[in-house]
Amino acid sequence: MKHNFFAMIMTLTIIGLMTQAFQCGSPEMTGAKVYIQQKNYPAAIDLLVKDVQKNPVDEEAWFLLGELREETGDYEGMNKAFTEALKISNDHAKEIYGIKYNTWGKLTNDGVDFLKKGSADSVMYYDKALTELLKAATAWPETSITYKYIGIAYNSKGDFANAIKMYTKAWELGKDIETYKMAGRLYASRGLDLKSKFETDNAEKLRSLKSLAAVDKGSYKADITRELGAPDPPQAGKLEKKKGHAAKKDDSKKEEWVYSKYNVTFTIENDKVIGKVFSKPYNPNIDSTSYFAAVDEFNKAVEVFEAIKKIDPKDNENLSLLLQAYVGADRIKEATKAFKQAVLNDPGNKLNHFILGVLYRTVAEYDDAIGEYKAALAIDPDYSDALFDLGATIYNCGVDMKKAAEEKGDESTAYKQKFQDALPWLEKVADMKWKNAQASAKSGAAVETELRTSDAVIWNTLGTIYARLGQADKAATALNEADNIRKNGK
């Protein structure tokens, strides 16, 4: 009996030792823990990798592997290990999320601190910011704000392509409207740069096309020389030889001015153009590569601002940006359709009416434009942008009427009524801006240069209208005011 008792004790002891050995885990896990105590993390990582290869469902091994990879800066490996651990169980879920959040937070804060130190003279800080922020994005790839800061860093150092990618990533993850606007603005800015390049590269050729278009029936001789310079010999006042007869002076004062450079001949009678004939089309061979590249950038901007509009159709800033992008992309018809719908959806939104008015004015649909500006002013009678554009549009109607009459040889002065009708709107906005500037000056507030520049445009327009109406004193006063504003900013 005694022998049996001791045998039973020995059996239980052996079983206990076997169980204890099993609970200690694999030799790799045991060795890894020893290396962790010694802070020999590379060796510990090697053993844990071997452990999970043998036993892929060892949650603790995956957790420890993620922890060590975070210590050594391998954030991609950390996430991979933590993901595997969480697939098996949530035993270490709290610790995992805590490690990820703390790591992301520290890296993000370090990156933002470097970002604040950056400047045009200290670009290296933007690179340092990117180093930390890209690590933060690796540590927690699902967080949109990190990509916003990365985009700002790229933008600050002039890497606009990568900035757009990061802003777009932030939008995809968090639908951050303000961040996505940054992407849209960059697309539009690149479009403007490319259009500017197109205009610079083809400046003389574009100028010649504009000048040729500006001179037409009803134009004066002075208009021709101002736009195109002197004609080819023989000089004005003589007719070409015809049928072998010598050229002779014409009592009707009819002349032909030839510009072989442009393949065009103007027939002039009593100092006015009565005919304009091209011997063949004038083609200055404009290189449109940059222009089409610009349109492509503006189209990308349209996509951005349209996406934002779907989420927040009442974001007035976004609507203005969308309008500019549509115009830059030469998509006036689409823009008009979009803003017609916007007006129907929200008839009380003055900006939608104003933008639709601008679109109508762009394609010379003046009556519709005037209707939209008046609708905007019905909502806000002091809406200065609508006041100015309404006056300018009525004035443009008069200009078109005057030109049409001249081309027909009509001496009608009906256009002057349009000029007169435009004045009250422009005078009101000029008065409003003047009073605002005076109020700012009294309060000690700075008057923005952009505001003063816009005042100059208003006074210049008023001066032009006064002059065309024969109101010389008012014209001189208005034009002097415009000059003073441009020169002095006040």
What is the per-residue DSSP string for 453-489? HHHHHHHHHHHHHHHHTT-HHHHHHHHHHHHHHHHH-
H or E element that contains 268: strand 264-269
Average pLDDT of the segment spanning 436-463: 63
Q: Is the pLDDT of residue 270 over 90?
A: no
CATH classification for the domain delimited by 331-488, as one of 3.90.245.10, 3.40.1440.10, 3.40.50.1100, 1.25.40.10: 1.25.40.10
298, 328 contact by CB (below 8 A): yes
| Tokens linked to 113 | 């601190």
pLDDT tens, 382-438?
A: 999 999 999 999 999 998 888 888 777 777 888 889 999 999 999 998 888 777 766
Provide the β-strand partners of residue 77.
none
How crowded is residue 81: how many other Cβ atoms within 10 Å of its Cβ?
A: 26
Q: Is the pLDDT of residue 242 over 50?
A: no
Q: Where are the alpha helices (DSSP H) in 312-414?
A: 316-328, 332-345, 350-362, 366-379, 384-407
Rounded to the nearest angstrom, the gap between the alpha carbon of residue 2 and the centroid of all alpha carbons in its chain is: 94
What is residue 440's predicted lDDT score, i.e. its pLDDT? Answer: 61
Q: Rounded distance, CA 415 to CA 65, Å?
A: 84
Answer yes or no: is pLDDT of 143 > 80: yes
451 contact partners, CB below 8 Å, separation of at least 6? 433, 436, 437
Best CA proximity match to 182, nearest among 214, 218, 156, 219: 156
pLDDT digits (tens, 9 = 90+) for 35-90: 999 999 999 999 999 999 999 999 999 999 999 999 999 999 999 999 999 999 99
Report the alpha-carbon distance of residue 5 to residue 427 in Å, rounded: 116
Which of 172-176, 283-287, 316-320 has the weakest average pLDDT?
316-320
Query: How do the domains of the chain map onto residue ranges?
Result: 22-91, 186-202+287-330, 214-278, 331-488
Q: What is the pLDDT of residues 1-48, one digit of tens each?
A: 445 544 444 444 444 444 443 345 688 899 989 999 999 999 999 999
Which pLDDT band, with edges at 50, 70 and 90, does 439 fall under? low
Q: What is the largest CA-CA distance in the chain?
A: 154
**Whole-number pLDDT of residue 123:** 86
Q: Tens of pLDDT along 353-380?
A: 999 999 999 888 999 999 999 999 999 9
Q: Which ranges constitute the DSSP H helices of 89-236?
A: 93-117, 124-139, 144-156, 160-174, 177-201, 203-214, 221-228
Confidence (pLDDT) at 21 = 37
Residue 275: its H or E element: strand 272-278
User: In this predicted model, which residue has the larger pLDDT, 449 or 202?
Assistant: 202
Burial class of residue 98 (count of CB atoms within 10 Å of its CB; 0-12, 13-18, 19+)? exposed
Q: Which fold has domain 22-91?
A: 1.25.40
pLDDT given at position 488: 65
273-300: b (≥16 Cβ within 10 Å) or e: beeeeeeeeeeeeeeeebbebbbebbbb
Lowest mean pLDDT: which of 86-100, 103-117, 229-243?
229-243
In order, the DSSP letters of 161-184 are HHHHHHHHHHHHHH--HHHHHHHH
Whether 331-488 and 22-91 are alike in CATH topology: the answer is yes
Sole residue written with tokens 């932030």:
170
Specify whether the CB–CB gap between 339 and 323 falls below 8 A: yes
State residue 442's pLDDT score: 62
Distances in Å between the Cα of 191 and the Cα atoms of 12, 186, 291, 323 are 82, 8, 8, 14
Q: Quick check: pTM over 0.85?
A: no
pLDDT at position 135 over 50: yes
CB 319 within 8 A of CB 359: no
